[in-house]
Amino acid sequence: MTRTNIQETPKVSIVIPVFNEEGNLEALWEELLPILEGLGESFEVVFVDDGSTDGSAAILRDLHERDERVRVIRFARNFGQQMAVTAGFHHARGEAIVLMDADLQTPPQHIPEFVEKLGAGYDVVYGKRERRVGRWYRRMGTVLANRFICSVTGFNIPDSASGFLGLNGCFVRQINRYNDRSRYLSGLFAWLSYGRYGVVPVERRERLHGESKYTIYQLVRLVITIATNFSTRPLTLPGWMAAVSGAAAVAVGTRGIALGAAGEWGLAATPLSAAWLMAMGTVCLAGAAVTGTYIGRIYSEARERPPYVVWETIGIEADNGKATPIECRSSERHSPSAPRGGPLHCSGEGDEEETHP
């Protein structure tokens, strides 16, 4: 077992969200470890298990027992990738923080390039894929979503879906001050960095094991989150629809008057009335839908629920960094396969104020 001084602040932190990746974790660690040791800097690897239902938790525990530089956060259930990354950022201690996926589609050998660019003063370094792999509809959906994000938010994000990027540690601690429950971190990175970003071209490989966890439905939900979190432009949509509908109403009304003047009111009245009612109904429904989305965001924030719930931590000190909103500790240590029942003691309600350099 590799032992380190856990009180020592590492120079480099690797944050890896995990969801049902038991087939990739060992291969990931075997490929990742020599690259990190070759940096010549102290490092840590923070895995965040986002409620995996396979053997991922047991593998992560074994990795920590073999090397204390591996630190693990396990969620009580699946809270989604954005919350998993948030938890990793809360506990990452490095001056340079690299975020990557556990599926090995983006190879770890690019990590030294990220660290080098972060050392040059960039707040954010994006991994931009040189080519895309996967099913055509996923690739097309990702490209369209990325363009939509840039057009709606006004942010120039080189490759929002690569999942491979580096961030300055001080920059991440500023990110940790934001407590949005519905969040899109890449948009927040772009908003806070004010264009101070670098780009590293990265290779994109096929998955070794398993399937992508991102469905079309989740992609659509993410796009909606982006549009409502970082822009008020959707609120202008009913206005534009009303303008178009008004112009159409004028045109149709003019045509109806012309038909009436020709003595054909019976022919014109029914379709004109139906078209008018449908146009008004469309405008009202669209306005209600957009307004409802924003009200939903307000409702979510007003409830002040914790953004995630940690079931257990492995190799992470209780007083490290930003406190977990709710951390459940069993009265007895659970094995990876043990049921999640029994008496729980919840602590850390609410967020602690951080001290920033």
Is there a single domain that holds both residue 123 and residue 251?
Answer: no
Q: What average pLDDT does the segment 305-318 reach?
A: 72
Residue 325 confidence (pLDDT): 45
Is there a single domain that holds both residue 161 and residue 264?
Answer: no
Is there a single domain that holds both residue 311 and residue 285?
Answer: no
Is there a single domain that holds both residue 190 and residue 329?
Answer: yes
Q: What is the CATH number of the domain that holds 216?
A: 3.90.550.10
Q: What average pLDDT does the segment 18-23 reach?
A: 93
Total-model pTM: 0.70
Judge whether 115 lies within some domain: yes
Judge whether 353 lies within some domain: no
Q: What average pLDDT does the segment 76-88 reach?
A: 92
Number of domains in the chain: 2
User: Taking 90 as the threshold, does the pLDDT of residue 134 lie above it?
Assistant: no
332 vs 280 pLDDT, higher one: 280
Q: Which of 100-104, 224-228, 259-263, 331-335 has the lowest mean pLDDT?
A: 331-335
Is there a single domain that holds both residue 242 and residue 317?
Answer: no
Is there a single domain that holds both residue 128 and residue 198?
Answer: yes
The amino acid sitting at 5 is: N
Judge whether 3 lies within some domain: no
At 34-67, the pLDDT tens digits run 999 999 999 999 999 999 999 999 999 999 999 9
Q: What average pLDDT does the segment 88-109 reach?
A: 93
3-state secondary structure the chain: CECCCCCCCCCEEEEEEECCCCCCHHHHHHHHHHHHHCCCCCEEEEEEECCCCCCHHHHHHHHHHHECCEEEEEECCCCCHHHHHHHHHHHCCCCEEEECCCCCCCCHHHHHHHHHHHHCCCCEEEEEECCCCCCHHHHHHHHHHHHHHHHHHCCCCCCCCCCCEEEEHHHHHHHCCCCCCCCCHHHHHHHHHCCCEEEEEECCCCCCCCCCCCCHHHHHHHHHHHHHHHCCHHHHHHHHHHHHHHHHHHHHHHHHHHHHHCCCHHHHHHHHHHHHHHHHHHHHHHHHHHHHHHHHHHHHHHHCCCCCEEEEEECCCCCCCCCCCEEEEECCCCCCCCCCCCCEEEECCCCCCCCCC
Is there a single domain that holds both residue 323 and residue 187?
Answer: yes
Is there a single domain that holds both residue 22 and residue 139?
Answer: yes
User: Taking 50 as the threshold, does the pLDDT of residue 244 lie above it?
Assistant: yes
User: Taking 60 as the threshold, does the pLDDT of residue 135 lie above it?
Assistant: yes
Judge whether 207 lies within some domain: yes
Residue with tokens 């010549």: 40
Give the closest residue to 353 by CA, choosing from 85, 173, 94: 173
Is there a single domain that holds both residue 334 and residue 195?
Answer: yes
In this prediction, what percent of the chain has a pLDDT beyond 70? 69
Residue with tokens 């112009």: 247
Per-residue pLDDT band for 352 (boundaries 50, 70, 90) equals very low
Judge whether 64 lies within some domain: yes
Structural domain for 291, as ranges: 233-303
At 157-194, the pLDDT tens digits run 666 556 799 999 989 998 888 777 667 787 778 777 76
Is there a single domain that holds both residue 146 and residue 74?
Answer: yes
Residue 179 confidence (pLDDT): 75
Residue 167 confidence (pLDDT): 94
Alpha-carbon gap, residue 83 to 163, rounded angstroms: 14
Residue 192 confidence (pLDDT): 75
Is there a single domain that holds both residue 211 and residue 272?
Answer: no
Is there a single domain that holds both residue 49 and residue 169?
Answer: yes
The amino acid sitting at 322 is: K
